[in-house]
């Protein structure tokens, strides 16, 4: 049986943590499994490298930044291979290039185009345990590229698919996926199974268990994911196609504090206005999430939308220029907002779910600024100061928390 195991930065925060992971890998090998290991950078080393880059340049080259950031995972893979060798497990470290991972040219957020696993297969054939530096690949011209935050998840799932692995295990510091972030909602319960669509919504709405792009890939290739804790033997959560007929209306709730709301006031109510604005933002690589256009009044509209907070500096000059071209009145930017989302495939065709979400927020004294929905998601933009109580209010309203008896255990 061939398994791919990915270990995140929190699992590799020190030499002791790294040795603990090596022991887990050895235990799997000793049980007769062939194991391919994918590692992230140790602890917060990626953030440290980003900080160093900022000291060298206010706007570092995307290509050079990828060259720099990829070194964190390269260090982890070499150290892990050394630790396994010391424990009697023959191992070999692989960069993204050696692992055959070819990506697009979108530095910092590249997508995997193909994985050629021939070198990995050669290593497995002679009894070696491959240890792959996650988060990275190479372009067709051979330049190093990175896959975005959480990109090691994508590495693991893509490699598992290319090798035809029996399972892909994603290890972190939490025991799977919970009904809410247990650091914010202590009564949050672990989930045994999630559909790809539910996990995709959770990941895109702020749950930091798995990278969104990785879940998209897993869904497209039908690769089951086992999300587990490095530090316990809990079974964790399985993410796969779910054929359960009876599901709760809401499976989990998610919170994203890292967003901003932009409002264009007094925009002409005319064809092409939205196309101009969102076309220009797309050209600058700014991802827009929720969009609301007010009812026209005196041939004028207000348009509000949300983006990632990190994109505000990139978006502001673009929106300001568009506003000028349109003849709009003013731009309002609010960075003190958050997004809380209720997610569950069981809400399909079930009336009253949205009303229940809104009532929970109202009972908690939380004002809703914007609303966005999909077939399995209801998202509300609220003041960032209300974020934690909003998350807990919706979680409690749908009875997602563990019972007092479970908490005592």
How confident is the model over 126-143, as pLDDT tens digits? 999 999 999 999 999 999
pLDDT at 211 over 90: no
pLDDT at residue 237 in the model: 93
pLDDT at 204 over 90: no
Confidence tier at 406 by pLDDT (50, 70, 90): very low
Structural domains of the chain in order of their starting residue, each with its CATH number: 2-243 (3.40.1160.10), 253-397 (3.30.2130.10)
Which strand ranges, in their side-by-side order, compose the sheet holding 129-133? 91-94, 129-133, 34-39, 2-7, 167-172, 225-229, 237-239, 193-194
* Range scoring the smallest mean pLDDT among 47-56, 202-211, 271-280, 364-373: 202-211
pLDDT at residue 375 in the model: 87
11 touches 134 (CB < 8 A): no
pLDDT at residue 402 in the model: 62
Residues 268-278 have pLDDT tens digits of: 988 999 999 99
Confidence tier at 408 by pLDDT (50, 70, 90): very low
pLDDT at residue 206 in the model: 72
Residues 361-401 have pLDDT tens digits of: 999 999 999 999 888 999 999 999 999 999 999 999 999 97
Q: Residues 175-197: what's their mean pLDDT? A: 91
pLDDT at 260 over 70: yes
**DSSP code per residue over 138-171:** E-TTS-EEE--TTHHHHHHHHHHHHHT-SEEEEE
- Calpha distance 190→405 (Å, rounded): 15
Per the structure block, which two tokens stand in for 380? 């509300």
Instruction: Work out the percent of the chain whose per-residue pLDDT is above 90.
Output: 77
How many helices (H) and strands (E) in the chain?
12, 18
pLDDT at 239 over 50: yes
Could you give the C-alpha distances from 303 to 55, 118, 268, 320, 334, in angstroms and in order?
38, 51, 10, 13, 14
pLDDT at 207 over 80: no
Confidence tier at 244 by pLDDT (50, 70, 90): low
pLDDT at residue 303 in the model: 93
Residues 329-369 have pLDDT tens digits of: 999 999 999 999 999 988 887 889 999 999 999 999 999 99
pLDDT at 261 over 90: yes
323 touches 367 (CB < 8 A): no
pLDDT at 255 over 80: yes
- Calpha distance 48→9 (Å, rounded): 13
Which strand ranges, in their side-by-side order, compose the sheet holding 112-115? 112-115, 101-103, 136-138, 144-146
Q: Residues 198-227: what's their mean pLDDT? A: 87
Buried b (16+ CB within 10 A) or exposed e, 193-218: ebbbbbbbbbbbbbbbbbbbbbbbbb
pLDDT at 245 over 70: no
How many Å from the N-terminal Cα to the C-terminal Cα in the chain?
35
Quickly tell me which residue has 């209801």 as its tokens: 378
Residues 84-107 have pLDDT tens digits of: 999 999 999 999 999 999 999 999
Adjacent-strand bridge partners of 229: 172
pLDDT at residue 86 in the model: 97
Q: Residues 285-291: what's their mean pLDDT? A: 91
Strands 193-194 and 237-239 turn out to be parallel
Q: Report helix, strand or coil for 364.
A: coil
pLDDT at residue 407 in the model: 39
Q: Residues 192-211: what's their mean pLDDT? A: 85
pTM of the complete model: 0.83
Supply the mean pLDDT for the chain.
Answer: 92
């Amino acid at each position: 049986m061939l398994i791919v195991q990915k270990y995140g930065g929190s699992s590799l925060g020190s030499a002791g943590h790294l040795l603990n992971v090596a022991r887990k890998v050895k235990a799997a090998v000793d049980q007769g499994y062939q194991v391919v290991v994918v590692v992230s950078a140790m602890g917060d080393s990626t953030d440290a490298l980003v900080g160093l880059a900022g000291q060298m340049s206010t706007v570092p080259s995307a290509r050079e930044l990828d060259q720099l950031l990829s070194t964190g995972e390269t260090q982890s893979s070499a150290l892990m291979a050394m630790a396994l060798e010391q424990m009697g497990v023959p191992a070999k470290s692989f960069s993204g290039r050696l692992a055959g991972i070819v990506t697009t040219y979108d530095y910092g957020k590249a997508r995997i185009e193909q994985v050629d696993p021939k070198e990995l297969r050669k290593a497995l054939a002679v009894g070696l345990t491959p240890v792959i530096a996650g988060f990275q690949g190479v372009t067709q011209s051979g330049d190093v590229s990175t896959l975005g935050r959480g990109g090691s998840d994508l590495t693991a799932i893509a490699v598992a698919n290319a090798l035809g692995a029996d399972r892909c295990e994603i290890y972190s510091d939490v025991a799977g996926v919970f009904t809410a972030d247990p650091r914010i909602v202590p009564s949050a319960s672990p989930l045994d199974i999630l559909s790809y669509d539910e996990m995709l919504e959770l990941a895109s709405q702020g749950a930091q268990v798995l990278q969104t792009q990785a879940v998209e890939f897993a869904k497209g290739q039908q690769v089951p994911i086992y999300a587990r804790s490095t530090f316990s033997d809990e079974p964790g959560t399985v993410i796969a196609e779910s054929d359960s007929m009876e599901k709760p209306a809401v499976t989990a709730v998610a919170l994203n504090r890292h967003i901003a709301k932009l409002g264009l006031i007094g925009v002409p109510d005319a064809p092409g206005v939205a196309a101009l604005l969102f076309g220009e933002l797309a050209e600058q690589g700014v991802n827009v999430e929720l969009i609301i256009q007010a009812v026209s009044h005196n041939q004028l509209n207000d348009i509000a939308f949300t983006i990632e907070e990190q994109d505000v500096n990139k978006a502001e000059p673009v929106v300001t220029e568009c506003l000028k071209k349109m003849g709009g009145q003013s731009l309002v930017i609010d960075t003190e907002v958050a997004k809380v989302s209720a997610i569950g495939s069981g809400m399909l065709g079930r009336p009253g779910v949205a009303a229940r979400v809104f009532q929970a927020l109202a009972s908690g004294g939380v004002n809703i600024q914007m609303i966005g929905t999909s077939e399995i998601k209801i998202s509300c933009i609220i003041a960032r100061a209300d974020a934690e109580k909003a998350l807990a209010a919706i979680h409690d309203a749908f009875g997602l928390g563990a019972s007092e008896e479970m908490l005592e255990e």
